[in-house]
Structure 1
Amino acid sequence: MVLVSVILLTKYYYLIFFKMSVELKFEDKKFSVNIVWLRDSCRCPKCYNSSCSSRITTIDQFITNIKIQISSCKQENNSVLVEWSDGHSSTYDIKWIYDIWTSNNQSKIIPHHCFGKELGSLPPRLPIDCVNQKKGQQELMKSLLKYGVGIVTNVEPTVEATENVIRCLAIPQSTLFGTAMWTVGNKEGHVDTAYLNVPLVVHTDSTYFCESPKVQIFHMLERDSNGTGGESTYVDGFKVAEILKQENPTHFKNLTEIEIESEYIEPGAHYKCTGPVIKVNKTTGEIYQIRFSINDRSPKPPTRIQEFYESYAHFVEILKREDLYWKQLLVPGTVLFVNNWRLFHGRTKFTGRRFFCGCYVSESDFSSRARVLGLIS
């Protein structure tokens, strides 16, 4: 009985994996494609509903498809023509196959890890009239992808005008701080240090959310002319991580592996999220997110606790270096877009009234817009 099972199991895998791949050529590049994926990705009207961009696949059909082999395969001009062992025919665009098969879902724009002053000098300052057009929206998105900062000028200092600018890029993300836009300086509705006049250590926002916002937007609407302080501070977290890796690869590795819990508590709300300080793409090894808020850590001890504290202390020590800081006063008329997965922001202590608005944009909406604009795959 055992022998029969082995034979049947072997036969089953033989059917699926007798031929695992087919070799194709795009321009002067040869590459191999898995045939199960190729059949699963057929875009003919029987397999794909192009009107709603959805596969037409039942569970039984899927099981059948992974057992099917290629009867013939040939390339003609820019097309790949496949005849399958069950009689089905598929036609593919060779560039479409190549782009998907070789894609690693990365941005076409290589991030420039910035020292502090570069954050203020390298990103272009785009007037509002420019951002109302597609080309200007591409430039704003490119700046966010490359430097982690986008700057739009000549904006009327109102919540409504600010929201209109933001919606050129993406839909504002609703959180407990606002259904879309939020304001700071005219209310004390949340138990959060951002609503006080105390200094704020540089940090990324919402480390306690399972999907922390990808982009944060700031626009100073009113500023007390007799007020003092309130200088905004920014640090490129990717640069901090890069320096950490150079100075101590073990500390860097620890912060990509050891997870810590962050939390936010106020009446009627208790948010928690656990993850590493530095998130790395497992395929490419590139950093894609920094989760850093020294004040929002919960009391739950991390695993490998001594390794964590030593590595985190090194990370924090790097954050004290002045050449990493960009400091400026937010002014009415200039809207600042900040990549919250990359840039730390903070503030010095202040007196007088500061009234500004802003919102968050989710990673999902940000990436959707970047794809529509042709900037990421």
Structure 2
Amino acid sequence: MAAGAGFSVASLYYSQPMLGLIASDLHAQGGGAGLVPTVTQLGYALGILLLAPLGDRFDRRSLILCKSALLALALGGAALAGQLPGLLLTSLLIGLAATLAQDIVPAAAALAPEARRGQVVGKVMTGLLLGILLSRVVSGVVAQAWGWRTLYVLAAIAVALMGVVLARALPRFAATTTLRYPALLGSLWRLWREQPSLRRAVLSQSLLAVGFSAFWSTLALMLQQQLGLGSAVAGAFGIAGAAGALAAPLAGRFADRLGSTVVARLAIGVALVGFALLLLGGGLSAAALLALLAISALLFDFGFQSALVAHQTLVYGLLPAARSRLNALLFTGVFIGMASGGALGTLALARWGWQGVAALATGAAAASLLVRLRRA
């Protein structure tokens, strides 16, 4: 299930390092190729809001297998796209189908004993997070060596094989509600209104996502402007992020023992320290700045991923019959935070330089901690 979550969510990010090759091959003018990751993320956002809640209404196993087949077909279609509009359409479908990751995690929570739920969720989230962090590295290497279409073909094969494995391994899941689809979506607002713990978890994680996205959205541009370094160096910082992702199972284990709220507060504190270190970057030599960035990325990635697992464990324990809907609300909030952080980070870099980005990320993490410290 961890591998399944990783392969599916990685599909969202494969295109980013390949945009230059895609634009050249499809003769996309005026930055049209840049719409590919945007449309993919849009599809994912729509899928989280409109499709993820179906996990409470139908057998999650069937949903996971259907989405696996759709994702494999969409990736294969992307490899065959002859023009940009065709690639944009398949990218939208990739985003929609990649939400099977948001079916796998609640399924893992449902299968886990209550005493080990955090640990199990943490292990599955490790696969998901490694898929996010390593997908760009893999796609860049494969596309450079064998072309961007080859990457999509290999991705389609990997997802298809993953679907076969999940079909053999997963049990069936009983539906936890009989609500019709409009009422199912309408219940999202009721859950949001009636669950203050859910609101605090979503707001806290979303604020942390603002700082996380602000850093990663502007890092490559800052390295190029200040140090004259290319995208390969920026991509290498993903290794530090991948190391931070290994915090997920540890966070889940401690969430089972100490409680999700305690772990979330500690994790946000670690992320806050990581972001605050960025404020010390002014006037450093290139080597010292790179070292500081690596340490900061390791710390705030560790904190962000640990807080996410703690918040997921907390949210899944609120109403077991509504886990898919609760998960949809949590990740909708995280997505909004990511999108806002990317936009605000770019604005901060343009107006106030890298110190502005550091201040934004630190302030967002501090606000996240304040939300988490509030008592019910």
Measured against the shorter chain, the TM-score band is under 0.3
Give the greater-gyration-radius structure (CA).
1
For normalisation by structure 1, the TM-score amounts to: 0.25
For normalisation by structure 2, the TM-score amounts to: 0.25
More strand, by proportion: 1
More helix, by proportion: 2
